[in-house]
Amino acid sequence: MSSNEKQTNPVETSTLPRAEPPVVQPTALETITATNHGKQNMECRCSGICDFLCRKRTIDDEPSIAGGLDNNHKRHVYKLKKNLIEIEQHLGLLEKFQGSSSRRIELRDHLKKLDEIINENKEQEAGHAGTKTPAWIPKISKEIMKFRQQISSTDRLYEKLSLSADLQSSTRSKGGSGVHELGNVHQSASFSSTSFYNEIADIFRGLDERKQFFLSCFTVFPENAVVKRRIFVYWGLGEDKLAPVTNGKNAGEASSDASVTEDKPEKIVDRILEEFLEKGLIEAFTKKRKQRKHVKSYKMHPLVRSAVIQISKQARFFDYAEKGNVLYWRHWAYIEPMGKRELVENVLLPQCGRLCLLQAEEHEQFLETKPLTAEGLSPLPQISDDYLEKIVTLFNVNEPFPDLELAWLSKLRDKSNGGQLNKEPSAEDWLSKMKNAQVICLGSWPGSAKPHIEVESIEFLKGLMSRKNLRFLSLQGISGITELPDSVSKDSNLVILDLKECHNLEVLPEEIIKLKKLRYLDLSNCYLLAHMPQGLGALSELQVLKGFVIGNSQRKSSGTLDDLKGLRKLRKLTINASSEEFPTPDDLCALNELGEKGVLRKLTIAWWGAKLADQEGNGAKREDQNGREGNCWKRLIPDSKQQKSKTRNDQQVGKLPMKLRKLDLQCFPMSKAKWLTPNSLPHLKKLYIRGGNLATLEDLDKKNWLEVKTLRLKYLGDLKMTWIKMQESFPKLKYLEKVKCPGITLCPCDEHGVWMTDES
C-alpha cells in the first residue's frame, strides 16, 4: 500500500489507555506540549488563533464592525468562534495523550496549519468590505472540522464514551479497506450528545433536501469505501433529484445552486460534493497527485459516517441495522426447542422505500451466541404487494448472487403470507411486483472493490418488463449475462443503462433503439461485444455513449458511426476499434459532424487489435476504462496487416471535431496521424495517450498546442521529447503525468511521474 493509501485508524483500542478527565488549562490554546518518548518537547505557538478569537469578540461590542456584515457572515463568524473556543477547551487532552508520537505530530500539524491560515488572511479581513462572506472563511471552517475530527476520534470520544463496547474495533470490512472500523458508535447516547455530532447535525439541517439525500447516500457504502462521483450522478438522475435549480425556486438554498444555468448532472453533483468537501464532511481520494478538479473519488470519515447514519435514519432517507448497515439485513439465530439446538433465519426490511442488498453474514458466527427462546424471536415480516410497490430503489451493496437473494426474499414473502408454493420462487417474481421502482442497481457500483457478481440466467430480467417509472438500470460487472432480453426495450422511461464490464455480453437487442429517453449508455469493457445494432441514431436524447464497437464485421446489420450523426446531444463518446484502419475518412466525417453540428466535446478511442512496438519485450501496456493496467488486446487483425501498420505512411484525410476539449487515445497503432495536430484540434484542453506506437506530437508546420493544460502520456516507447521542448509545444501546460515513456527526458516529475504547477 502506497503512502497515499495509508489510512488512520480513528481509535486504537488495543494500545490507547483509558483517559482520565482532563484538567483544562486556560492557556492550552497557546502552547501544546507533547512528550516524544520522554526525550524532547514540542511546542506550537498559536498566536493567530488567539488573535482571531479576540478580534471576533469585538463584533458584538463594536456596531461599526457588525454593521458591515450581513447575517450570513455573522453566522459564519459566530460558528468559527464557538468551534475555536471548543478546541481551546479540549486541547488540554493532548498534554495527557499517551498515543504514538506520529499521532501527536499529526494533531500538532493540524493546529499549526489552522494557525497559518488565520494569519495569512489577516490582511484580507482588514481590507474586506461589503456584505459577501469572505472566501477564506470556508477554508478556516474546513480546517477546523478536520481538527475536531482528529480530537474526537482519539481523545474526546474516548474520554466521553469510555465504554469499550461503544468503540469495538472490527477488522472485517466489506468495503475491502483493510483498516479497523468503529463499530456501533452511532448507537451510543453519549456520541449523540457530543458537540462533534451536534456540529454534523447542524450542517445536515442547513442543507436542502437534495443535498441531505446525497450525503446520506455515503452511508450506504461500507465504512472507508472509496466512491466515485458517477454513482451519485446515476442515482440522482434515477430518483429525479438532479433537475437544475432556478432563481426563485427552493428559497434558502445555497447561492451556488440558485444561479445554475447549465443543467449537466455532472456539474450539479460536482458543486454538491465540493460543498461537502469544504464543510469537511467527505475527503477527496487519489493515489497520486492530481489537479483538484480531476479528483472524482471520495470517502467519508468513519466518525462523520456514524453521525450521518443516525441523522439520516431520523430523516427517513435510509433504515439501518444495529451495526449501522443499511437494510435489509438477513440474519440467523439459534433456538433450543425441546432441548435441541436449531438454526433459524430472519430478516429486517426497510420502511423508507429504499432496499439495499448486502451479503448475508455467515451463520457460523452465531454458534457461540446465547440461544433464544421461540417466544424471543421476531416474527417474520409481512411482505405485501403494497410494500413492494412502495420501493423506489433497489441497490446492491455487495451481494455476489443478487438473483438468488431476490428469489429467497420472494420465498420469504410467500411464506410470511401463508401462501402455497405452486412454483419455485424467483427473482422475476420479486422484481415484477416493484412496479414503481426508479432505480435498480444489481451489479457493482463505481468505486467498489469489484467483487464477483454472477447470475444463474437472464430470466430475472423479465421481471423488469414495462417498468414505466424505471430510470436507472445497472447490471455492471455481472457475469452470466450473454444478451439482453427484448423486454428491456419496454422500459420506456429508462434514462441510464449501465452494462459496463458485462464480460459475457455478446449482443445488444435491436429493440434497444426504442429507449427514446435514454441519456447514458455504458458498454465499457464488454470485450465479447463484436458489433453494434443499427439505428442508434434514434436515441435522440443520448448524451454519453461508452463502448461503441467498430469491428471488422461486414454484417449488413452492424451499426457504424454514420448511425450516430443524428445525435445532436451526444457530448461524450468512447469507441473500441478492432481495426488498425480506424478512423477512415468516412469515420472522421461522421465524428466531425457530431462535433460541428452537435455538442461532442470528449472523445476516447481504444484500438483493441493493434500490434504495438515492444522495445523492452514486456508487451505494450494499456489501461482499461477503470484505470487498471493490462496488455493491449491483440485480436481480429491478421499478422500481415499488423506488420504493415508499423511501416505504412498514414495517408488518411479528414479531421476530428475541432471543438473537442478532451481526447483520449489508447493503444494507438500508428507512429503519427494527420488528424492529431495542434492545427486540427485548436480548442483541446486535455490530451491523454496510453500505449501504442506514437512517435511524435509535432506537425509539419511546427505549431504548438496552445490550449492544452493537462497531458497524460503512458507506455509510449517511441515518443521522444525533452522537457524544454515539451514546454515550448505546450505553453499552457499545468499538469503532466508521464509513466514508462523512456524517450521523454528531463521532466521534473515526482515518484509517480506527476508534475503540476502550484495553481493546479
The per-residue pLDDT for range 485-512, each reduced to its tens digit, is: 888 888 789 999 999 999 999 999 999 9
Cα gap 18→646, rounded to integer Å: 69
Cα gap 398→445, rounded to integer Å: 9
Q: Who wins on pLDDT, 611 or 467? A: 467
Amino acid at the residue 118: I
Cα gap 275→285, rounded to integer Å: 16
Q: Is the pLDDT of residue 135 over 80?
A: no
Question: What is the number of residues in the chain?
Answer: 760
Strands (E), 93-212: 168-170, 181-183
Write phi, then psi, for 57 (nearest 5 degrees). -70, -20
Element of type H or E holding 587: helix 585-596
Which of the residue ranges 130-134, 359-363, 624-628 has the most confident prediction, judged by mean pLDDT?
359-363
Q: What is the pLDDT of residue 267?
A: 93
Share of the chain above pLDDT 70, in %: 60
Cα gap 121→321, rounded to integer Å: 45
Write phi, then psi, for 315 (nearest 5 degrees). -80, -5
The per-residue pLDDT for range 408-465, each reduced to its tens digit, is: 888 888 877 765 555 678 899 999 999 999 999 999 988 767 678 999 888 888 888 8
- In sequence order, the β-bridge partners of residue 354 are 393
Residue whose C-alpha cell is 508520537: 101
Element of type H or E holding 441: strand 439-441
Sorted by sequence, the CB contacts under 8 Å of residue 151 that are 6+ apart come out as: 87, 90, 93, 107
**Helix residue ranges, H only, 540-654:** 585-596, 639-647
Q: Rounded mean pLDDT of the chain?
A: 74
Mean pLDDT of 22-47: 37
* Cα dihedral 691→694→699→704 (10° resolution): 30
CA angle 694, 612, 708 (to 5 degrees): 25
Mean pLDDT of 401-407: 91
Q: Is the pLDDT of residue 613 over 80?
A: no
Query: What is the longest distance spanned by two Cα atoms in the chain?
Result: 92
Cα gap 564→566, rounded to integer Å: 5
What Cα–Cα distance (Å) separates residue 311 from each residue in 204, 315, 331? 8, 6, 25
Cα gap 558→552, rounded to integer Å: 10
Strands (E), 551-598: 572-577
Cα gap 134→77, rounded to integer Å: 10
Element of type H or E holding 725: helix 723-729
Q: Closest Cα to residue 467, out of 492, 445, 449?
A: 492
For residue 634, count other CB atoms closer than 10 A to its CB: 16
The per-residue pLDDT for range 569-607, each reduced to its tens digit, is: 999 999 999 888 899 999 999 999 999 899 999 999 999
Confidence of residue 10 (pLDDT cuts 50, 70, 90): very low
Q: Closest Cα to residue 725, out of 739, 707, 744?
A: 744
Cα gap 515→493, rounded to integer Å: 7
Cα gap 743→745, rounded to integer Å: 6
CA atoms within 13 A on the CB side of 365: 6
